[in-house]
Amino acid sequence: MAPVAEDKGLPWLSAGLVDLQVNGFAGHDVNGETSADEVIALTAALAAVGTTTYLPTIITASAQETINSLLAVRRARAVDAATAAAVPFVHLEGPHLSDQAGPRGVHPTAHIRPPDLEAFAQLQEQSHGLIGMMTLSPHYESSAAFTSALVSRGVRVAIGHTHANNAEIQRVVKAGATLSTHLGNGAHRIIPRHPNYIWSQLAEDRLTAGFIADGHHLPDETLVSMIRAKGVERSILVSDSTSVGGLPPGHYRTAVGAEVVLDDRGQLREAEGPFLAGAALPLIAGVSRIAAHGAFTLKEAVAMATRVPGSIIGGRGEIATGSPADLVTFDQNESDGELHLRTVIVSGRLND
């Protein structure tokens, strides 16, 4: 990232944002009764807020519902050049997660199940190899072997929605897991001071951690401490946005969380329960929050939403020869540090 010129009236220039965790946005969803048209519309909605590369994130569901979502993404990539360029592969968040309240989040209990390599292989075959990342819990006895099998097939494995102990986490890391999904969330409301599964992942240098920087999922002081522990080069900002992202406050029924409430602060919660139900702000909001806080430089804040996640999926999030011509320009407010998007360029063309 570099300033265009010394003239303060000109904007900053960056690679387009890269989001590794998107359930939906602006009324569009990759879960539930989705379609290729829904995915195409989601791609356009994300581009409008600066996210030019993203991983459609499919949560825990029945095998049939999961394949329906995968096929919707596959069809969208086949018929729409913009979606094909924006979506390198899909992120499966589940179904091999903790079944405990808290770590499970809003993933439906009925479909939580142990790792099953044959079932995964069927999904991968039916989707023509579209799955490139999976979030799982290491607490299952078969998690390490499953991780090793996925990694050998080129699939990135992330730890998330877990109640695993340190030994279980270490076994999965040794088997090839390299990521932590929205670290600090998908957790019990009360955990032991130490040891616990958050400290274990923070201390593990082989894990790059995703963080939701919307001001609701993690208090600022917690988020700053976690990023400092991981370091910018092992920290990724994600939106974890759902279909109600960008919509007015109110009650909604969604594929992620079922009955949810979006308040006027942008916080999304279960309608009947104490837990968050995903997020409602785009990735640019998280970058803006980090940049405005002051604990990290503007360059570092942008890197955690461009170059660092781009390196995970390969060849994205950088302004370099041979990289996709996905760019954004923005201003930073001098008084409060917030970022204001000006323009988005997708594949070399100005996004209208």
Helix (H) / strand (E) containing 299: helix 298-303
72-96 pLDDT, tens digit per residue, is 999 999 999 999 999 999 999 999 9
33-74 pLDDT, tens digit per residue, is 999 999 999 999 999 999 999 999 999 999 999 999 999 999
Block residue for tokens 């998007």: 341
**Contact by Cβ (8 Å): 147, 172:** yes
274-288 pLDDT, tens digit per residue, is 778 889 999 999 999
Which strands, in side-by-side order, build the sheet including 268-270? 250-254, 258-262, 268-270
- Tokens representing 8? 């303060």
209-247 pLDDT, tens digit per residue, is 999 999 999 999 999 999 999 999 999 999 999 999 999
**Closest to 43 (Cα-Cα) out of 1, 85, 78:** 85
Q: How far apart are CA 278 and CA 208, in angstroms?
A: 20
CATH number of 16-322: 3.20.20.140
pTM (2 d.p.): 0.96
Q: What is the mean pLDDT of the chain?
A: 94
DSSP string, 2-15: EES-S-TTSPEEEE
**Contact by Cβ (8 Å): 14, 231:** no
Q: How far apart are CA 311 and CA 96, in angstroms?
A: 26
Angle at alpha carbon of residue 236, lines to 82 and 172, rounded to 5°: 105
pLDDT on residue 317: 96
pLDDT above 70 covers what percent of the chain? 97
Q: At what angle do helices 117-126 and 63-79 cross, to 10 degrees?
A: 30
**φ/ψ (deg, to 5) at 231:** 90, 150
Residue 81: how many other CB atoms lie within 10 Å: 9
2-32 pLDDT, tens digit per residue, is 544 456 778 999 999 999 999 999 999 999 9
Task: Please list, in sequence order, all residues whose beta carbon lies within 8 angstroms of the beta carbon of residue 61, skipping any fewer than 6 positions away.
Answer: 31, 69, 94, 95, 108, 111, 255
Residue 300: how many other CB atoms lie within 10 Å: 18
Q: How far apart are CA 216 and CA 182, in angstroms?
A: 12
In which band, very low, low, confident or very high, does the pLDDT at 257 lie, cut at 50, 70 and 90? low
Say yes or no to pLDDT of 273 above 80: no
Angle at alpha carbon of residue 131, lines to 124 and 157, rounded to 5°: 115
End-to-end CA distance of the chain: 23
